Structure 1
Amino acid sequence: MFTIKNVSVNAIIICVMIFPLTSCDHATTELISDNSQQKVTITFAATTGAVSQYEKLITTFESQHPDIRVELLAMDGELPDYERLTSQADTLVLGSAVSAENSHLFLDLTPLMPNEDFSPDDFWPNSLQGCQSGDKQAGLPVSLNPSLVFYNKNIFDQKNVAYPQPSWEWDEFKNTVQLLSDTSGTEPVYGFVDNSAGFILRPETHALLGTNKTPAEVGATLDWYLELARSGEIAIPGVNIEEKTNDLVRGNQAAMWVGTLSGFSYDLQGLDFEVGFVPFPTSSRSEFGSNPVSVSCAMVSAGTGYLEASWTWLNFLSHNSVGISSGFPANLAAIEDSPEWVSQTPERQTAIRGALQGGWYGWVKYDFTPIAQAFQKSIQSGQRLADLLPTNLSLLALERDIPEVEHTPQAVMAPEPTPLPKTEKAENALSAVYFADPGLHDNRNVLALAEEFNLTNPEYYIEIVTERGMDFVNINSNEYDIKNYDCFLAPAATVSYHLEEINQEGSFLQNIYSLDPFLDLDENSVLSDLDPDLVTLLQVDGSLYGIPQTINPLFVYYNANLLQ
């Protein structure tokens, strides 16, 4: 019987039976001008997993701009050191918005935007705000990932409630929550599960403060949400319930919830009901947008010595990054060619378009933490929200502080290492395909290890794949990896879930190869160097189905001042 220990295993290596070891074919604006006829070289930092895709894009760019050469610098999957990175690269893409703390590291692009080759109208509404820091345009949006309201169609059908439509408003949302909620049984059904206290109302709160509403007026307008949360019709994990959103969704206890498409495909695989989604509700006050959207931004280092060349590359990148960054293109014209977009049904495309059209990026400039804290305390204590909101509540008071830093980094060239010679596969070699997820591997090291192995073991051939196919629905799923690769790294939590379910279905283990035959032949067993408890986590009925690779130990922290 499989049990979960109180140990956090980050990742394990899994081998699948689909392809066992058989042969297969598989700065500022006053910096030096670069208008001269001399060819300019700028550096661009990209994640290791996207290097090959950017190489193709760079080839196209250089053919259109023969006076500019782009030198590609590969970043590993670790959390980047932005101070160091902006001292190495003229340009880079961040997988997030620009934090206030790092704003000084990036050039303000505002003076460059009147350029005749650039138009703000090329981007989804408000998306340029996602790459701002204060009043500074610190980057250009490359890709967008909207939050959406997902819903369980079975619960709607059982209650005979019409599915929500992309144009719905707050009154419809409130009525739908009340119609779907059933808190009378031992397993209540919540009409809506929010991410945090008042999260779904962030855009509406922004709109109210944008019209200079007082704390009393804000509290009175949003009080309906608090009443539904206190009655249990709206559930908020960690605030009025203990369960997690994913558990409620899997248990058919969440009629509606907030999520993203990438999070849905990764965290909620194998649901036994059909799921729909719509944008956030709107109101007449939604001039700032109504739908939260996260953003990836392309930036220019504040220390670049090649301002015009860097801007030319960045402008090109913001219009031509289809299929490279996750999410949907920030460029309006590029959406139709996006693999993520093409993979959606017309119904879902309508919902996604509505969410992007009504994109809200107020979370970038404003810190809504004080409002979230007031919501939580009001729900838990029963106090009026108006009495708990800050007395000086305003958009100005919520603005994130931008630290003043005099230092600006100087971009430098970072030489690329000489690539290793490619080992050719022997005619009769047994081969296997290993997927090296760039988010979990240093792929330079993985490729080097594979080359070394292939060179010293000519009877075998290991092929390393670093990019998944662009099936957006399954791009983060174990099912996709099982069908396409012989071995891969998987989060232990995801695998543990499948292993727990084997008594009900057993389908997962039918596709995963037991490692026992290999261990029986291994005189110096790899398991002798591993903690037995970690190995036990990945065993079923004594058979081993994965090898632990990384762990994340849990610690108890203490406040030394309080203990004194």
Structure 2
Amino acid sequence: MIVNEKEILMKFLKFFIRTSTNNFSIIILISSLLITACIPQQAETGKFDQTTISFAVPKYIKDTYIPLADAFEIENPGISIQIVTPSEFYELWNEEDLFNLASAADTSFHLSSQELLQNQTFFLDLLPLMENDPEFEMEDFWMGSLSACRDETGKIVGLPLDLNMTGMMVDKPAFDKINITAPAPGWGWNEFVNDLQVLGAKQDLVYLDSQTFFTSVLAAQIDPFLSDEDELSQRLLDYENAVKAGQIHAYDENQSIGERQTLIDDQKPALWAASLNQAIEVIAAQEQTEPTWSFVPYPLGEGTISTSPFGVRCAMISQGSQHPHEATLWLKFLSEHWLVTADQVDRYQYIPARISVADSSGFWNELPETVEDTVRFGLAHAWYKSEDSERLSWIQQIFDSVMTGETNLQTALAAGMNSLSPSETRTPVPAIAIATPQKTSTNSDNQSIKFYSDAIDQLTMQAILEEYQKTHPEISIELIHQNNFMNIDLENYTRNYDCFTGLSSYVNNSSLYKEDELLAINAFLDLEPEISSDFYPDQLKLYTREGELLALPATQALSTFTYNADLLNELGVVLPSNDWSVDEFLNLINAAPAQSSAEMEVYGYAMISDRLLLASKEIGIENATSDFQFTSEKSISTANWLKSLVDDNIVVRNPADAPNRVALLVAAGQVAIWDTSFNGWFFNGEVPDFLTEEVAMPFTSKPLSVNPGGQAYYISRHARDPQACWNWISFLSSQPAASKYWPVRQTVATSGEWQSLVGSEAVELFTAMQERELAYANMSPQEQNLQKIWVEAMKAIYEGLPARTVLSDAQKQYDDYLTCMQINLPPDASYDQISEISEGCIFSE
């Protein structure tokens, strides 16, 4: 097949438009080549031969791989990826053998490496292909994971894409109650057996095992001893005795999910087998200050250091493929990505098989620290498959009979240890032929994009979309709406959606921002200056990085306060109004505790940040004013004043030993007023038992620095059609129904539709906040570190250390930091360079 030169150049031009607004010289060069391409020339046979590689996936996950295929084709212009869907779900993958799957496409994957190895004759050995690629880094795969896709002859049937781990949930209070140490990474089989016996004396069921034998606590423990009757017998006997004593509910492959959950809910085992994704769901749902559940690897044993069962998804190449080299490049490319979508609820079930991908994809970012330790330990002690799967399968069969009472363990082992029959011979595999379909042509006039948003309710967003498409029928927009607040990694959105609603911090928070993932929208906005002028002052600046505007503001967060109206009325304290001053704020928080009774202690203000209290003394820590000194009498007296507010219960804060104290007191109705932004934390989505009202921030004599918040519309640099995305999000930003909370465009805020949607009280509050002189700016690295030093100093002062001494030490730390910055900071440093040098200077001590 000869590919048109113009088609290839157009693909590159489209890529450069997607990825940068500054590649003008390259675009000019490509444009000139396009002109040349349009002139008839003598074809050079084979110069633009296009190889098509087919890739089989279930239909329901096809969309996950479309952007990956597009990205691969840009990197490899001579190869085209054709995604085929031989069945809706995994029907073809679950057939008795995989001949039909191998016949469906050049490449595919299988979720079970064990089943794949039973069908290894249908697929190519990848080892020679890997060894012939000097850039293939086998050491980048987690230790032992390649062996999961390798058969007993050394043939590598598949390339690992991702791994899934099974471990144990631990009910820590059950262990604390009887004063024994709860399991942790590195515990042993003997400890496990002992825990079963000790806990078994206190409760009926101690351990609920996995549903499958392979992921049970038993399989990996016995695998090294399949030919050692004594060791094998002892481990099987430990398990059998614990089952008979009711301490273990044995693995049960017929157990339904509902039956399993009933066992957990009703019998409350102290330990139960769980996948990594299940563990994260349970731990994330914990509301207690002290976590109830933890997640640990399976126990180690003597001679069994690999005891954590890991499943592997292996990608393979069909024996019938005519293009194994190109197919290998595609599988290698897939292995270099975390193959999940941003809205995938079980995404943590899939651990990237490459170490570099796990580190760069954000996989570790969302894991609780204790869970990360468990996963890393599990990966270092992973058990992927048996070295003698046939013998292990036989052991399972006889042990199943033991568990049902059909036979005796010792009798069965004695009769069978040396009489395992050889495997039956496999019939020759018929020739595999693959019909590779051609890439279907697309109509360039038909714009199609995927848009993700959870900013407003789905019905409202759908209604806005339907209205938009009445006048823009040429744009096809697939709306994805799912509350997915735990997925904050930027690439989860830029690699799966053309445009999306996201956090405001994706631009200037160095831990969330990722280079070359967001498309700058300056060029779009320059063509529509009326949109720029409609935004409230400084809103666009919040989303600008190194001169590039990387998002269109969607909503803003207002720094308002919420107060307990029932409490203030009961205490006879005057309710605040939107035009109140900082002095009136201080009067309120002093008055409330003065009315405390023996029945209930009352606090004035829930302090998570002291910015307003500092502003009342005209100290702007967050503004890093040039004349600020930690050791000034004003700073020292203010620090002592803050401590007295805490000591007198006028202000309540979170001490180190009670990190949830403020939230508990607010939710209990014992605090008069607090920052509205923390309502989600304080009430956990529940409606409090008392009446609350919202009020504007008090007027202060100096501009008060506030943390910029809200949401914005982003366009991915990988978007298929950036212009279609821009047309949609610019329209969306003008819609009152999409700005139901706090609008960023003046025409929206003044529209009758928005004011009718939110009501007069919200309009008054919003108007009052616009009258405040606030510093809506992202804090510079210097300001951030000044604030860090102040916060740490105040912690020491609240603990009782002398303010003058503590602040003197803080001043020295800040002076050293400034000296370090002066020495190391180049005059033309970028924001990222400043952040990196600043971080090094603050921790240089």
Aligned equivalents of 1:93, 1:64: Cα separation in 2: 22
Deviations 1:276-317 (A, max 9, x none): 111111124236x22111111111122111111111121222
Tell me, what secondary structure is at the counterpart of 1:137?
Answer: coil
- Residue in 2 that maps onto 1:353: 376
Deviates more, 1:60-69 or 1:157-166: 60-69
Tell me: CA distance 1:395–1:258, structure 2 relative to 1, closer, same or farther (3 Å): farther
* 1:508-523 correspondence to structure 2 within 5 Å: none
How far apart are 1:155 and its partner, in Å?
Answer: 1.5
Query: In 2 relative to 1, CA 320–340 (structure 1 residues): closer, same or farther, beyond 3 Å?
Result: closer
Conservation of the 8 A alpha-carbon contact between 1:73 and 1:89: yes
How far does residue 354 in structure 1 lie from its aligned partner after superposition? Answer: 1.2
Taking a change above 3 Å as real, the CA distance of residues 226 and 138 of structure 1, as seen in their structure-2 partners, is same
1:168/1:385 Cα in 2 relative to 1: closer, same or farther (>3 Å)? Answer: same
Match of 2:163 in 1: 144
After superposing the two structures, state which structure 1 stretch, 413-422 or 361-370, moved more.
Answer: 413-422
Residue in structure 2 matching 1:246, options 249, 261, 268: 261
Partner of 1:190: 205
Residue 121 to residue 162, structure 1, CA distance change in 2 (3 Å): same
How far 1:140 sits from its partner (Å)? 0.4
Which residue identity is paired with 1:353?
R
1:366 to partner: Cα distance: 1.4
Which residue does 1:374 correspond to in 2? 398
8 Å Cα contact 2:52-2:438 kept in structure 1 = no
Greater relative contact order: 1 or 2 (C-alpha under 8 angstroms, separation 6 or more)?
Answer: 1
2:51 to 29, 40, 44: 40
Q: Is the 8 A contact 1:340 1:470 kept in 2?
A: no
1:95 aligns with 2:111: yes
Q: Distance in 2 between matches of 1:409 and 1:222?
A: 46
Q: Determine if the alignment matches structure 1 residue 123 to structure 2 residue 123.
A: no
Residue 133 of structure 1: how far off its partner (Å): 4.5
- Looking at CA atoms only, which structure, 1 or 2, has the larger radius of gyration? 2
Alpha-carbon deviations, 1:21-79, whole Å to 9, x = none? Answer: xxxxxxxxxxxxxx987332222234445545433333443343333232333565422
CA deviation profile, 1:401-441 (whole Å, cap 9, x unmatched): 765423323241255486895699xxxxxx9748xxxxxxx
Verify: 1:64 aligned to 2:75, yes or no. Answer: yes
1:172 to 191, 211, 226: 191
The answer to whether residue 224 in structure 2 is matched with residue 218 in structure 1 is: no
- Residue of structure 2 in register with 1:258 after alignment: 273
Match of 2:82, as an amino acid? E
- Cα 1:166–1:280, aligned 2, differ >3 Å: closer, same or farther? same
Aligned-partner residue type, residue 290 of structure 1: T
| Counterpart in the other structure of 1:108 | 125
| Structure 1 residue 400, shift from structure 2 partner | 9.2
Evaluate the alpha carbon distance shift between residue 52 and residue 406 of structure 1 in structure 2; reply closer, same or farther with a 3 A threshold: closer
The equivalent of 2:172 in structure 1 is 153
Which residue identity does 1:70 align to in structure 2? I
Q: CA deviation at 1:154?
A: 2.4
CA RMSD of aligned residues (A): 4.5
What is the total number of aligned residue pairs between the two structures?
Answer: 417
Matching of residues 483-498 of structure 1 within 5 Å: none
Change (3 A) 1:312 1:138: same
Could you tell me how far apart the structure 1 residues matched to 2:387 and 2:286 are? Answer: 33
Matched, 1:320 2:337: yes
Deviations along 1:436-456, whole A, 9 cap, x unmatched? xxxxxxxxxxx9xx99xx779
- Aligned pair in 2 of structure 1 residues 163, 398: CA closer, same or farther (>3 Å)? farther
Moved more, 365-374 or 303-312: 365-374
Judge conservation of contact 2:58–2:90 (CA < 8 Å) in 1.
Answer: no
Determine if the alignment matches structure 1 residue 291 to structure 2 residue 297: no
- Residues 323-352 of structure 1: per-residue CA shift (max 9 Å, x gap): 457511011122123444321112110101
Counterpart contact for 1:100–1:403, Cα < 8 Å:
no
How many Å apart are 1:467 and its aligned residue?
8.2
* Structure 1 residue 123: Cα displacement: 0.9
Equivalent-residue separation in structure 2 for 1:298 and 1:398 (angstroms): 29
2:486 is aligned with 1:471: yes
Contact preservation (8 Å) 1:88, 1:413: no
Q: Which residue of 2 aligns with 1:78?
A: 89
- CA distance in 1: counterparts of 2:58 and 2:482, whole angstroms: 12
Superposition pairs of residues 419-498 of structure 1, within 5 angstroms? 433=458, 464-465=479-480, 469=484, 471=486
* Equivalent residue number for residue 244 of structure 2: 230
The answer (yes or no) to whether the contact 2:448–2:477 under 8 Å persists in 1 is no
1:302–1:410: 8 Å Cα contact kept in structure 2? no
Q: Secondary structure at 2:309's aligned position in 1?
A: strand
Partner residue in 2 for 1:441 = none
Q: Which moved more, 1:289-298 or 1:174-183?
A: 174-183
What is the aligned-residue identity percentage? 25
Distance in 2, Cα, partners of 1:56 & 1:62: 10
Q: 1:266: Cα distance to partner? A: 7.2
Q: 1:469 to 1:218 in 2, by over 3 A?
A: same
**Does the 8 Å CA contact 2:130/2:136 hold for their aligned counterparts?**
yes
SS at match of 1:341: coil
Q: Pick closer, same or farther for the CA change 1:369–1:470 going to 2, 3 Å.
A: farther
Whether the 8 Å contact between 1:301 and 1:409 is mirrored in structure 2 is no
Change in 2 beyond 3 A, CA 1:386/1:208: same
Q: Deviations over 1:511-546 (max 9, x none)?
A: xxxxxxxxxxxxxxxxxxxxxxxxxxxxxxxxxxxx
User: Which of 344, 352, 357 is matched with 1:329 structurally?
Assistant: 352
Could you list the per-position Cα deviations for residues 204-225 of structure 1 after superposition, in whole angstroms to 9, with x for gaps in the alignment? Answer: 211112xx313x5421343222
What is the SS of the residue equivalent to 2:399? helix
For residue 362 of structure 1, give the secondary structure of its aligned residue in structure 2.
Answer: coil
Q: Tell me how far 1:244 sits from its aligned partner.
A: 3.8
Specify which structure has the higher proportion of helix. Answer: 2
- Cα distance between partner residues in 2 of 1:194 and 1:310: 40
SS of residue matched to 2:187: coil
Name the aligned partner's letter for residue 135 of structure 2.
Answer: D
Which range moved further: 114-123 or 230-239?
Answer: 230-239
Q: Matched residue of 1:174: which SS? A: helix
- Going from structure 1 to structure 2, the CA distance change for 1:306 and 1:191 (only over 3 Å counts) comes to same
Partner of 2:319: 302
Instruction: Give me the TM-score of the superposition, normalised by structure 2.
Output: 0.43
Q: Structure 1: which amino acid aligns with 2:120?
A: S
Deviation (angstroms), 1:369: 4.1
Alpha-carbon contact 2:161-2:334 (below 8 Å) kept: yes
Whether contact under 8 Å (1:37, 1:67) holds in the other structure is: yes
Which residue pairs with 1:344 in the alignment? 367
TM-score (norm 1): 0.62
Aligned partners of 1:423 and 1:67: how far apart in 2?
Answer: 25
Look up the SS of the partner of 1:371 in the other structure.
helix
Q: Secondary structure at the match of 2:273?
A: strand
Q: Are the counterparts in 2 of residues 197 and 372 from structure 1 also a CA contact under 8 Å?
A: no
Distance 2:187 2:61 in 1: 38
| Alpha-carbon distance change, 298 to 249 in structure 1, aligned in 2, over 3 angstroms | same
Contiguous gaps of at least 5 residues in structure 1: 1-34, 425-430, 435-446, 474-483, 485-506, 511-564
Q: Which amino acid letter does the alignment assign opposite residue 44 of structure 1?
A: F
Query: 1:201: how far off?
Result: 1.6
